[in-house]
Amino acid sequence: WIFSKEQKPIHTLCPDTMAENGKVTSGDDADPSKKPLLSSSTDYGSISFPEADGYSLSQRGLADIVAQKQTKALSAFGGVSGLASAVGCKDLSKGLINAKTKEGAAFVEAQRSKYGSNSLPPPPSPSLLALVLEGLKDPTIIMLLVSAVISLVLGLGIERDFEHGWIEGTSIFVTVCLVVAVASLTDYAKAKEFRDQQLRLEGERHVNLVRSGESTIVHPGELVVGDIIRLAVGDIVPVDGILIDGSGLKMDESALTGESDLINKAVYTGGGKESKADPFIVSGTNVMQGSGKMLVVAVGCNSMQGRILARIREQETEGGDDDDNEENGGFLSTLRSFFSFGSADVEGADLMKKLDVLAMDIGKIGLLVAFLVFLVMFTTWLNSQFFKGGDCAALVEDECIPHAACAWSHSSGSCVRTWTAEDISTVLDYFITAVTILVVAVPEGLPLAVTLALAVSVRRMIKDSNQVKHMDSCETMGSATTICSDKTGTLTENKMTAMRAFLAGKEHEHIVGKTSGEEDMNLGKIILESSTSSDETKALVELLSEAILLNCAPTSKVNSTEAGLVYEGNATECALIKLTQQLKVDGESLRQSFKKPNSVLDWGEHSIPFSSEKKRMSWIVEKGDGFRMYSKGAPKAMFGSSTSFLSGLSGSVTETKPLTPAELKAFNEKIESYQNSGLRSLAVAFRDFDSVPKDGWNNNKDLETNMTLLAVFGIEDPLRPSVPGAIEDCRKAGIDVRMCTGDALSTAVSIGKGCGILRSTDFDKDGNPKEGFAMTGAEFDDRVHLKDGKAPHVVRRVFDPEINDAVDKLAPQFLLDEKGNKKLDMEAFDKLWPTLRVLARCQPEDKLTLVKGMRKSQLFMDETRCRSLDKEHNIKIFPDYQVVAVTGDGTNDAPALKSADVGFAMGIVGTETAKQACDIILLDDNFSSIVKAAMWGRNVFDSISKFLQFQLTVNVVAITLAVVGAFAYSESPLTAVQMLWVNMIMDSLASLALATELPTKELLDRMPYGRRRPVISKVMQANIIGHSLYQIGVLLWVLFAPQTIPFLDPPITHDPTQGSVHWSVFFNVFVLLQLFNEFNSRRLPTIEKLRSTVSEWNVFNGVCSNPVFVAVMVSTFLAQIFIVQYGGLAVNLVHGGLTRDQWLFCVVVGMFGLVWQLIINFLIVRLMKSSSEEETNSIEQSIRKMSTRSLGDVKDDTSIDDAESHREKSLPQANWDKFRAGVRQGNIYKDMMGGSSFRSGHKLGSIVKTRLDDQKEAKKKIEVSEKLFSSEKSLKQD
């Protein structure tokens, strides 16, 4: 379906229906003389499109109306309503007929057949055959296949050895086919997994559709031309359309135009080309502000998004990049690149880049070794056979002439060696051996292991409510050092309930039942029972219900189910709607009573959508002889727009009082009391109008002023029960959690304290957060950015300490960079962020600044500052760059989600824009799921490291033995077929076994890895070297002295030839050593864990929890038995296989590798130092050096012994011993304290250094040291 019959790329993805019906796509320059044709057949089987003034409403014509912004076309069809009617939508307020009815389903299907469906064919996925052909293009595979062909030609065609000549070539063919098949199947499964993941993500998209006057949530694929959809902030528009209703709607079209400015959209009211209104909305653009409704006019292939995709597909089909035409650096540059190992800029890169560099280096080493082996074997053979004559040199003329490989030289009078077909076969064997060494050396299993580990994790993470969009983010999350989390819905349940209200001059509060059997007195019931007059109660309920229900988004609903109440839409609005249900009000009937006929609005006259700048929203309805506007928003914003408040009701008549400064102060105190209780505060107000303002509802900027304050609510959002434990897990894992919320500072501090983000030590004696631990976004913004002192002051957001909140007032301008962004004061930022735990009244740009700043910070290099933070606040700065994860749900959070190392979007309340920008979607919006993602990320890193350790061990051993065999016997003891089997064990099967381990909670008991951590850790190095030495030693023993192997009767004869018992045992020992080493590779503990946990020494711990590992081990062992016993000459092994005693020896030698691992662990514990010990020893040495230099007149040339002696005279020995003991005990206390590297000895070191630097006289230094070192109790407390 990509190509036409002429094999030319065409728009088959988006077929041009204009060619089908013969109509000409119209534009502003179309012939206006054409008479309008507004008739449209009702026969669903025919295809005819309305026309007017040269404009056609065909699929392409409708798409061009939006793409080319043809306002004349709207005029030609009588405006938007006329165009809607022409495409099947007769009533803009109701939309198309509901597809739930038979008639509606038929009509919708007819629309889909006529105008196309809103779906795009997915890009073609590679077939299995294509992947096989791709695998056969690998250079090493090609070399092996060529070698196999030559081997067959030599064996069957030249040597005519039909009994054995076919074996080696056929074996290579079969093995290569097996290797390619396994690799192709794995790649195919990987591509299918990725495709399925994209389909899952696509399947979770939704739009708010209006049909038959009812709003429903559907998948974008259900849309057809003529549908009406609602637009809300955060939506990514899936179709092209025309705005039919909207207020304050602003679109981000940067994805289409590249321009970052928001585009205002307005309803078309007429005026043709002269109209300045832009009602055209293009697919793929984002709703950034406001709300509205849109008429769908182009879907799927005909939409702007679909047409662009078609062009991209065509370019991909037409082929390629011009990379091949780029100039290279020449031969010297290529040679220099080949012999350069590692990369200078790989430090700090992610794991994938480090692995790429490592794989390239291993491949280079393998190629050099393969070339060296071939060169040595070939030159040794050439010298012995041709330069020295070989067997021919000893022959006389009568013996020489009949010999096939010899010829008599009359000039030299001796028998010389000549070339034969067998010589070509010998050279070919050398070449095959070199190629197989290269095959084993190249770690093609490494990307397979990475892919498997990520694919398995991604698939299983869905069960933990983590839907991964970008696979590499899964591994990155394992290195996360900081999580910047939202509050609402992430730390809290997002099940909001109105708990307190100040209404009509009275305080009302939800009463919790005193016993488990006693029901709660909800707020609605309290309000109903608070009034003594039934008229007063009725009037109050009516006023409050209208203020709530008529000033909510139509998508906010509270549905009753068997499981309880289910919120749909905005949770804060749902809390208020729930209150009206408690007041026994029928919300749907109330809203319908205010609906105007033929209006596109759901009810009322005019709506003013929520704005983050104004922090409120309003809705105007017709009330009596006039109009009433209901408004709700942040209390501070509402107080500033109100001049009076509802003080009570006299019967059904409202009574108001002026909102004086004294009353305003009382309201602020009430709000503060709500916030101190952890409640979100919200204010509701109203204003009456006698008539429509002169400027209308749209253009009047003073509508939301002079309002009457109706009520103030305190809304509770309960903390998730799992959050405190999850945050404690993060703290143990070395991950700092910071809360960024739009709530007031007191509310945020209350929640932060409840969930454990703010510890008890983070508060002062008065119960307030210490300086720098909690602040507002305005204060943070002001403190971390550079100011322009010379420029005039401007009105901007500034923190006001008197009200503990942000206000707009004159302040210095910020310095801007060349891109117009505020310049970050990195020094001020580094002073602020380590202690910052709660950021309240946080705007998206504040979160973005925090994320970017932490990722850039190099505070970890300032040891003095790090020690000070540890000593004063028990805050340990991770000794590497920060890896930041951030959560977000709104459209404005997208930049922060993109800038973070890992971005989490909320799956329930998150906007489409946030989900597009993120790396992982939290399906349950739960913070605990982020912790699970961190655990999975660490598991991925460990799985890759385990496989890497195993593969490098095999590489080292296989290459070493191949080189030794080549030098000793002029051939490798492992043949090409055997090498390929080993390659399969250590690549495909090992990656499958080691990359499928499940994560455990113990993964969170250690610090993150960090950006600069080397791929191969110290423990991995020890294991690789240790096992390589053991395996090489055992295999050299078998290779050179098999007859000395005990308990074998008869003993193994030294017979270094293919197919002998000697080399069959060698091959079997080699494979079994690798199999048992896979068990050792399952555990990858740290030095600290080996010292403290016995279970880390047990390589079988948890093995049964991974059935894949068990299955791979069992199947590999059984396959090895089959190959050895029945493979015979096909795999260059002894016919009939090995005896029972020989098998027993091989198994025992392999199993001893498990014991050898215990020996390696013992040596690691005894000889290797952990990072914390190295730091502590360094401190001890520096303190000793400082003390010996400062405690007397020690000359520069004084020896260490003299200095030590002088120190002993100056400082009491007992105190010095205590200090050294304290430093060493820091290693013991580190496990109890749960920290990382800076411990008690480190703290004492920083104290001593600081104090000694402050003193000038040696005598005072001694006194300070004695005082510090004399108290064992203070040492342990530190």
Q: How many CB atoms lie within 10 A of CB 1054?
A: 13
Q: What is the CA radius of gyration of the chain?
A: 39
- Measured in Å, how far apart are the chain's first and last C-alpha atoms? 72
Question: Is 486 an active-site residue?
Answer: yes
For residues 745 and 775, what is the distance between their CA atoms, to the nearest angstrom?
Answer: 7
Would you call the peptide bond into 1050 cis, given omega within 30 degrees of 0 as the criterion? yes
CA dist 937 and 476 (Å) reads 6
Of 600, 657, 764, which Cα lies nearest the Cα of 229? 600
Residue 210, strand partner residues: 215, 228
* Chain Cα centroid distance, residue 540: 50
The dihedral built from the CA positions of residue 919, 922, 927 and 932, taken in this order, carries a sign that is: negative
For residue 79, the tally of other CB atoms under 10 A from its CB is 16
Neighbours of 1174 (CB within 10 A): 12
Phi and psi, residue 905, nearest 5°:
-105, 150
Check: CB of residue 87 under 8 Å from CB of residue 226. yes
Report d(CA 468, CA 474) in Å as an integer: 7
Rounded CA-CA distance 690/1055 in Å is 111
Buried b (16+ CB within 10 A) or exposed e, 342-356: eeeebeeebbbebbe
How are beta strands 794-800 and 680-689 bridged, if at all? unpaired
Closest CA to 93 of 687, 744, 602, 733: 602
CB atoms within 10 A of CB 1256: 7
Give kind and range of the element (H or E) at residue 920: strand 920-922
Alpha carbons within 13 A on the beta-carbon side of 52? 20
The one catalytic residue in 245, 486, 762, 942 is 486
Non-local CB neighbours of 872 within 8 Å, separated by 6+ positions:
none
User: How far is residue 979 CA from its own chain's centroid?
Assistant: 38
CA quadruple 954, 957, 960, 963: dihedral sign:
negative
Distance between CA atoms of 1071 and 1066, rounded to whole angstroms? 9
Alpha helices in 704-744 (DSSP H): 723-732
Element (H, E) at 129: helix 128-135
Max Cα separation, the chain? 139
CA angle at 423 for the pair 421 and 427, rounded to the nearest 5°: 120
Half-sphere exposure (Cβ direction) of 1133: Cα atoms closer than 13 Å: 24
Q: Count of H helices and E strands in the chain?
A: 44, 34
Task: Quickly tell me which residue has 């790329």 as its tokens.
Answer: 9
Contact 860, 878 (CB under 8 A): yes
Distance CA(71)–CA(53), nearest Å, equals 13
Q: Taking Cα atoms as reference points, which of 1010, 1034, 1025, 778 lies closest to residue 884? A: 1010
Distance (Å, whole) CA 654 – CA 632: 19
**Helices 927-969 and 976-984, axial angle in degrees (round to 10):** 170
Neighbour count for residue 794 (Cβ, 10 Å): 12
What is the rounded CA–CA span in Å between residue 392 and residue 399? 9
- Residue 216, token pair as written in the block: 């429903």
CA distance 576 to 587: 11
Residues that are catalytic: 486
